[in-house]
Amino acid sequence: MALAQDVMASLIDKFLVAVGLIVLIHAAYSAAQHRAYLRLTEKDFTTLPSDVLVQTLTGLVVACYGIVRVVGQFREIRPSADLEGRTWDSMSTHVAFYNLNHRGKLLMADVD
């Protein structure tokens, strides 16, 4: 029973993402149509109509909510999680910073 509820919740969340993206695409199309209308009527562009703005904000909120729900559980960010079990001496060794090609080899070269 719990598995069926999880699958249904996942489908609803994916549906919310799809609806949010479709609403955003429709808002973009409406904005483009409004700009084309203003060009035809030779009016100045001041702002988008309020319905396009409401559509954009609604689509953004629905899509973001669906994406957060689809992604799953967030984990806590703890900087100490990577450092657990390491000694103080091993924390300062970074292999990526080793440079073995340095000027010292020229000082030790045989001078013949």
Taking only the tens place, the pLDDT of each residue in 23-60 is 999 999 999 999 999 999 999 888 889 999 999 999 99
CA-wise closest residue to 13 among 79, 74, 65: 65
Is 87 inside any structural domain? no
pLDDT (0 to 100) of residue 57: 96
- Contact 70/17 with Cβ under 8 angstroms? yes
Checking if the pLDDT of 107 tops 60, the result is: yes
pLDDT (0 to 100) of residue 55: 96
Is 22 inside any structural domain? yes
> pTM (2 decimals)?
0.62
Is 82 inside any structural domain? no
Is 8 inside any structural domain? yes
Checking if the pLDDT of 99 tops 70, the result is: no
Structural domain of 17: 2-71
**Cα 75–Cα 68–Cα 61 angle in degrees, nearest 5:** 145
Decide which of 69 and 73 is more confident. Answer: 69
